[in-house]
Amino acid sequence: MSVVLELGKKAKKAAQAMAVTSTEVKNRALLAMADSLVEQQDRILSENAKDLEEGRRAGLSSALMDRLTLNEKRVGEMAQGLREVAALPDPVGEIVEGWRLPNGLEIQKVRVPLGVIGIIYEARPNVTVDAAGLCVKSGNAVILRGSSSAMNSNRVLAEIIARAAEEAGLPKDCIQLVPTADRESARELMRLHGYVDVLIPRGGEGLIRTVVEESTVPVIETGVGNCHTFVDASADLDMALRIVINAKCQRPGVCNAMETLLVHQEVAERFLPRAAQELRAHGVEIRGCPRTRQLVPDAIEATEEDWRTEYLDLVLAVRVVDSLDEAIDHINTYGSKHSEAIVTGDYSAARRFVREVDAADVYVNASTRFTDGNQFGLGAEIGISTQKLHARGPMSLRELTTTKFVIYGDGQVRE
């Protein structure tokens, strides 16, 4: 039996026990996991140092090296994250709805854990702890499959939290790490249909694409955010500028940052030169359509490819559109269905944008940067779903559950 299949079998068994574990025990375990991380910080940092050493030798980019790095502060943040998850309400056991039928049967739709959750992720070792915490709180068993570049860090983190969890009363094997990070182990995990109930890839577009292509386990696609802001003819241009700068510059490397700015032709002349000046002051490179370049002469010429690109960087594609229709059409054609915003003073434009733009999160007069479980008031998130099945938008504890129908009768049979 392969190592991954063995993990799957153990996880399935653990999931059955997890499903009936009380909130009290789960919370105690989360706090114990947090304490353990802090106590064994030195061990964590020394294992992390090995990954960093190998990363240096392999010539990883400074961005990747940064994601890989753990330090006292980051270990503290992981521990704090677990404590915050412990403080969130337990989604399991909620009666979502219920009713009585004419024949006397009583039906309840009850929230239950998904079972076994697989997480495939890249680089950042904190995902090991963050994802495990959310899976535990929602009553699931988790199989973690990190990248080889973070293997030493992931291994020590998983070992510490798994032991603390078990000692605090959680079922054995409720947190497991795939011990190898080769292609084959990922592929096996993706084919564990019947053992893994859902697979959540966290990482770049390439990883997500591979998982969608190869997995027979149901997948929730996360993350890719080619987000737009549309400045309508009736926009308050001061507000528009504030929102544009925030959406592009406040943290350009994340999925809810703006990648393309659309401007209604009626305000392009008044808005674009001013916006370009401020964007430049923030270090943003502008790639514009022909009409944009007339107003912003130093903008680079945008190609079709630019409309499709998630830069995750201080680069912005800009296009002048004739109408609200053209803006909606552009977004529905090129967007990744993540977060889209309109800045407008027009009631019916707002209404149409909200209805006709096909995306997980649609904003009127606000920055797309708010798309986040914590910002929405939902608590820590495991990712942002850009697909339509099961969960859409920020996924918090509730999205790591499913429901079952429970039907209480007194001997009813079907006529």
Interface with its own copies (CB under 8 A): 16, 19-20, 99, 101, 105, 107, 114-115, 193, 197-198, 212-213, 216, 218-220, 236, 239, 242-243, 245-247, 250, 332, 354-356, 358-367, 369-371, 375-377, 387-390, 392-394, 402-414
| CB nearer to its own copies: pick between 254 and 315 | 254
Q: How far is the CB of 238 from its own copies (least distance, A)?
A: 8
Decide whether 281 or 354 has the Cβ nearer to its own copies. Answer: 354
CB of 297 to its own copies, least distance (A): 28
Residues 146 and 177 sit within 8 Å (Cβ to Cβ): yes
Structure token digits, residue 404: 């079952």
* Cα distance between residue 402 and residue 415, in whole Å: 30
Q: Which is nearer to its own copies, 221 or 306 (CB)?
A: 221
Nearer to its own copies by Cβ, of 156 and 342: the residue is: 342
Nearer to its own copies, 323 or 402 (CB): 402
**Terminal Cα-to-Cα distance of the chain (whole angstroms):** 48
User: Hey, what are 285's tokens?
Assistant: 């490179």
Rg (CA), the chain: 24
Could you give the CA distance from residue 366 to residue 370 in angstroms, rounded to a whole number?
8
Paired residues of 198 in beta bridges: 117
Any bridge partners for residue 177, and if so which?
Answer: 144
Which CB atom, from 56 or from 388, has the smaller least distance to its own copies? 388
- 242, 327 Cβ separation under 8 angstroms: no
DSSP 25-60: HHHHHHHHHHHHHHHTHHHHHHHHHHHHHHHHHHT-
87 vs 389, beta carbon nearer its own copies: 389
- Closest Cα partner for 367 from 246, 280, 252? 246
Q: How far is the CB of 88 from its own copies (least distance, A)?
A: 16
Q: How far is residue 40's CA from residue 339's CA, in Å, rounded to a whole number?
A: 39
Tokens of 18: 């997890």
Provide the minimum distance between the beta carbon of 33 and its own copies in the complex, in angstroms, as a whole number. 25
Give how far the C-alpha of residue 138 lies from the chain's centroid of Cα atoms, to the nearest Å: 16
Least gap, CB of 338 to its own copies (angstroms) = 11
Tokens at residue 41, please? 């910080």
- Nearest CA-CA partner of 21 in 32, 29, 10: 29
Measured from the CB atom, the residue of 311 and 353 that comes closer to its own copies is 353
Strand pairing of 339-343 and 315-321? Answer: unpaired
CB of 208 to its own copies, least distance (A): 11
Residue 239: CB minimum distance to its own copies, A: 4
CB of 5: closest distance to its own copies in angstroms?
16
